[in-house]
Amino acid sequence: MTLTHLNARGEAHMVDVADKPESRREARARGRIRMQPATLALLAEGGLPKGDVLATARIAGIQAAKRTHELIPLCHALALSKVTLDFELDSTQGCVWVEAFCRLNGRTGVEMEALTAVSVACLTLYDMCKAVDKAMIIDGVQLEEKRGGRSGDFSRQAQQTQEAAADVQPAVRGENPLHGETPVVSVRFLAELRERLGTEQTELDPAQLAVADIAGVKRALMAADPRYALLEEGRVLAACNQIMATDATPVAPGDEVAFFPPVTGG
């Protein structure tokens, strides 16, 4: 593996692509901006002082993709044939997901364009909302997939599935780990609760949940094994994807639910 932007003397240089064949290139990147629930609600209602936030961020992302070569020193200027920006308001995780897709028929990949579009769209969201929330965090900016070109295709999801398959946790007390097409709900237990259950981790098929929330996860566990009656004894706290949850917090396939006793640090 070599770094293509360095020449034999280790100096930065732009790769000469004149002799590379043209091919269909596509890239999809994603990122998010986390914010207070109140900010997200204002954004959803269109109540922010600077006006239509998502429309502005979409135009900013498209413009940024087209101007990537002006920002990133060794990027080629590309005539993109398609740039799209999608936004998803996620009240469970308190964030706006930003996804960019770029395409062209050409000689270089478009992943830098997709990543730049996501980054600038997130920055624009920050700018549009900062009057009401300065603590917003932009994170998780990453390439999801790319197609075409000599280096071949890349898909983060496929890579993660492979890694997960290579790292299968042993089944806990005969419960089958379900590594298939449908993502499972993984459940972990911490501290004294883990010791009393004798279990660190288990998995639920989302089909086992009569109601897809934390209370539903508890009921499904208790139906599978009476030991889990401990989840109803005394005060047991829960988190979904590492955010504090209540019985009514929704749980989706692929989520990680954790149960633990009241905290005693400090």
Partner 1 sequence: MQIDIRVQQAAFDAVAMQQRLTARRRDIGALVSFTGLVRDINERPDVEALTLEHFPGMTEQALEAIARDAGARWPLTGVGVVHRVGRLPGDPIVLVMVTSAHRRAAFEACDFIMDRLKTRAPFWKKEHTASGDYWVSERQSDHDDAGRWERA
Supply the residues annotated as catalytic: 127
Where do the H-state alpha helices sit in the chain? 37-45, 53-66, 68-71, 111-129, 156-166, 191-197, 214-224
- Contact region with partner 1 (CB under 8 A), list: 111-119, 160-168, 216-224, 255-263: 255-263
Q: Which of 123, 190, 215, 222 contacts partner 1 by CB under 8 A?
A: 190
Note whether 266 binds partner 1 by CB under 8 A: yes
Note whether 38 binds partner 1 by CB under 8 A: no
Q: Give the interface size with partner 1 as a residue count (CB under 8 A).
A: 18
- Token readout for 140 is 């998780």
Note whether 73 binds partner 1 by CB under 8 A: no
Phi and psi for 36 in degrees, rounded to 5?
A: -65, 145
137-147/23-34 β-pairing: antiparallel
Per-residue x/- track, 125-144, partner 1 (CB under 8 A): ----------x---------
Nearest distance from C-beta of residue 135 to partner 1, angstroms: 5
Q: Which of 88, 153, 192, 247 contacts partner 1 by CB under 8 A?
A: 192
Please report, for residues 5, 66, 179, the alpha-carbon distance to residue 162 in angstroms, rounded to integers and kept in the order given: 29, 34, 10
Note whether 265 binds partner 1 by CB under 8 A: yes
Note whether 191 binds partner 1 by CB under 8 A: yes
Note whether 235 binds partner 1 by CB under 8 A: yes
Residue 212 and residue 215: Cα distance in Å, rounded? 8
Nearest distance from C-beta of residue 237 to partner 1, angstroms: 8
Q: Which of 38, 41, 223, 243 contacts partner 1 by CB under 8 A?
A: 243
**Contact indicator for 154, 225 with CB cutoff of 8 Å:** no
Residue 56 and residue 115: Cα distance in Å, rounded? 18
Residue 53 and residue 45: Cα distance in Å, rounded? 10
| Contact residues for partner 1, defined by CB under 8 A | 135, 190-192, 195, 235, 239, 242-244, 258, 260-266
